[in-house]
A and B are shown apart, each in its own frame.
Chain A
Amino acid sequence: MSDAGAIFPPHHLPDHPQAWSAGSPDAEPLLQANGPREWRVSGDWTLLALRGRYDEFRQRIASAVTEGGDALWDLRTLRRLDTAGALTLWQGWGKKPPSRLLWQPEHVTLFAQFMQPAALPKRGPRLGPGLERASLGLLAFARHGVDIVALIGRLLLDLVAVLRHPSLIGWREISANVYRTGAQALPITALVGFLVGLTLSYLISRQLKTYGADIFVINILGLAVLRELGPLLAAIIVAGRSGSAMTAQIGVMRVTQELDALSVMGISHTVRLVLPKVVALAISLPLVALWTSALMLLGGMAAAGAQLKLDPVQFLHLLPSVVEPVNLWLGWIKSMLFGGLIALLACHFGLRVKPNTESLGQSVTQSVVTAITLVIVVDAVFAVLFSNVGI
């Protein structure tokens, strides 16, 4: 402590009577006419003291400069001056020092930095709306397509390698992913499935009742749920739940350079990260879809029982005879495809994350939106292709 001052005397401390203390509140910044053609600047001219009054002071200074001709500016009684305060004065003076100026020696460096021509950055040419932006969008879309094809190719090659050397299969990862995407999704899919089934059955029953075709509620509900709604609902919920988590996980690994660490160690991203996720979701989504379908039928059964006095035993007994089992298989295969698709898209968007936070958020959103959209598109394609099967 004792020699610190000797080696390095503090330069900037004002030694005039109203020395300020660091924690004290700001004093009012003042600009006063001190006789004809003389202005006294005093108080605190700091960022916080001037809050909200910059324009007022700049205008007052500017008008003082224009009207006064060759006024004297006295800065010696300033309590505190920082860059913002100095810049306010400077801008008021018209970006040049006034010819008659009295100041404290320690303020010289503050004003000196304004004398250097501060080159302002030029923004690069911004793309306007129109052809250029559209073509860029198209290019980005094409790049996504190329990347996905590359990822699928890589995945297939790795799959062959893994099948040849089964020791490479990450059973632990697959099992963990099945648990996370399947078992942990059971409560939410059960709730949603039951409620949707209930609502659907209620509406259908009301309509059928007017025609006296009560018994057909089993046909409609069974076919719709097992073939379309069950797999679709499960896929949408899992895409929102697990797809986003997968994208975020891989994205964070990019941000924290964990992906680079894996590459350096010669561990393939696809074998260790992508493949287990794709396989696990392709296994767990059909199971979740089956579970969701079952709960939807349960809900439908409950509503039909309440609305049409349909006996649950009769419902279950009639179901296999009116809905062909092939519908179940169709739903099962679709779910498997949906599962693989969701995981693949999640990994694709995760791997494309750039190491910043905004890109991470964007990728997660894109991943979920794209997955849900594609699931519905693929479902529609299936509906067209298999329009003659099982109905």
Chain B
Amino acid sequence: MDTAEVIIEVDNVTTAFGGHVIHRNLNLTVHRGEVVALIGGSGSGKTTLLRLLLGLEVPQAGSVKIFGHPLGRCAVRDLERVRYRWGVLFQAGALFSALSVFDNVALPLRELKSVPPDLIKPLVMLKLAQVGLKPDDALKQPSELSGGMIKRVSLARALILDPQLLFLDEPTAGLDPDSAKQFVKLLRKLRQELGLTVVMVTHDVDTLFAVVDRVAVLAEQHIIASGPLAEVARLPHHFVRNFFLGHIQRCEEDDLRRFRLSLDDTSDEGGVPAVLREEQTV
């Protein structure tokens, strides 16, 4: 894995807003096929780091490279090469409230201006099924959706261009435990099927246990630790200690594997979303 291709490279980045320094000499590298979680306290700059990675903010110093293309000062052609290859799930979904679910998911495809409509329709319906939505949901408006469904639609929209890199901002925040579990299962399934590289910001310990390969802890303006869950959880840092309070035992590798196998158990609740299972039996 150490020799795997580098997808994201954050090099000595410093960010400041109005004299207030958020990141100082921050470094982060993400390799292909990895699922990396960013954790950190409120106000530690997780969201800002994510925005840096997305090119929505420009660092004061240092550089951010995605797929080897530097963000910010790159040619339009390069940026296009990046933007069509990533998908982003925003925390509140960021669905276009004026468009129906179908149109929301179809939008990135239509913007390519080169995909025939008879290909768009099945592609969108496939993605909706993949994230566990019913065909009828396609005609709903975003205002009619529940929080969990908004996340699913947003995920479908993020996945519609079959990206190689997926950014998730608090994917399970605001979901009830069952929905969160379903969502995590969905992520695992998608990851297995699509071989995605995933960067996520999360506070949810269960999500970490379920899908994450590597945890990066953001505190004191830089990444203080980055490594497998079991290693990071033992870090003698007060934030990390509070974060994993009562979960230390679960970080053991055997326990972790057992937990993940239980999630992948397809015999019962399984990775297949409930909607699809119903359809198969019909």
Contacts and interface: CB of A to CB of B under 8 A. Distances in A.
Interface string A112-133: 0110111111011000000000
A21 interface: yes
B67 A47 contact: no
A190 to B, nearest CB: 37
Interface stretch (B187-195, B217-225, B238-246): B187-195
A160 to B, nearest CB: 36
Contact of A121 (B102, B194, B213, B214): B102
Given A113-B129, A357-B97, A1 B2 contact: yes
Given A116-B280, A354-B143, A121 B114 contact: no
A51 B213 CA distance: 34
Given A1-B227, A4-B1, A356-B141, A22 B67 contact: yes
Interface in A87-142: 87-88, 91, 106, 109, 113-114, 116-121, 123-124
A306 interface: no
Interface stretch (A9-17, A144-152, A279-287): A9-17
Interface string A78-91: 00001110011001
A113 B130 contact: yes
Contacts of A55: 116
Interface of A: 1-5, 7-8, 10-13, 21-23, 25, 46-48, 51-52, 54-55, 82-84, 87-88, 91, 106, 109, 113-114, 116-121, 123-124, 354-358
B116 A54 contact: yes
A322 to B, nearest CB: 56
A47 B115 contact: yes
B163 to A, nearest CB: 9
Interface stretch (B18-26, B46-54, B117-125, B173-181): B117-125
B276 to A, nearest CB: 7
Contacts of A109: 193
B123 A84 contact: yes
Interface string B93-136: 00011100010000001001011101101110111011000011
B126 A118 contact: yes
B138 A121 contact: yes
Given A21-B5, A23-B66, A48-B161, 8 more contacts: A1-B213, A10-B32, A22-B85, A55-B116, A82-B162, A83-B127, A84-B119, A354-B143
30 contacts: A1-B1, A2-B228, A3-B253, A7-B253, A7-B256, A7-B257, A8-B213, A11-B195, A12-B194, A13-B33, A22-B32, A22-B164, A23-B67, A48-B84, A84-B119, A87-B126, A113-B130, A114-B126, A116-B129, A117-B279, A118-B126, A118-B129, A119-B135, A120-B125, A121-B102, A121-B138, A124-B139, A355-B143, A356-B98, A357-B98
Contacts of A48: 84, 112, 161
B121 A120 contact: yes
Contacts of A25: 81
A133 B131 CA distance: 37
A21 B68 CA distance: 10
B7 interface: yes
Contacts of B214: 1, 4
A83 B279 CA distance: 21
Nearest to A4: B213
Contacts of B280: 116
Interface in B18-49: 31-35
A326 B31 CA distance: 82
A12 B126 contact: no
Contact of B193 (A12, A84, A116): A12
A83 B125 contact: no
Contacts of A23: 7, 66-69, 81-82, 85
Contacts of B81: 23, 25
B123 A355 contact: no
A84 B162 contact: yes
A83 B68 contact: no
Nearest to B165: A22
Contacts of B102: 121
A2 B112 CA distance: 39
Contacts of A357: 96-98
Contacts of B250: none
Contacts of A54: 114-116, 119
B202 interface: no
A52 B114 contact: yes
B260 interface: yes
A87 B125 CA distance: 12
A109 B126 CA distance: 12
B142 interface: yes
B203 to A, nearest CB: 21
Contact of B195 (A7, A10, A91, A120): A10
Contacts of B143: 354-356
Contact of A83 (B33, B126, B213): B126
Nearest to B84: A48
A1 B276 CA distance: 34
A46 B115 CA distance: 12
Given A7-B253, A84-B119, A87-B119, A358 B98 contact: yes
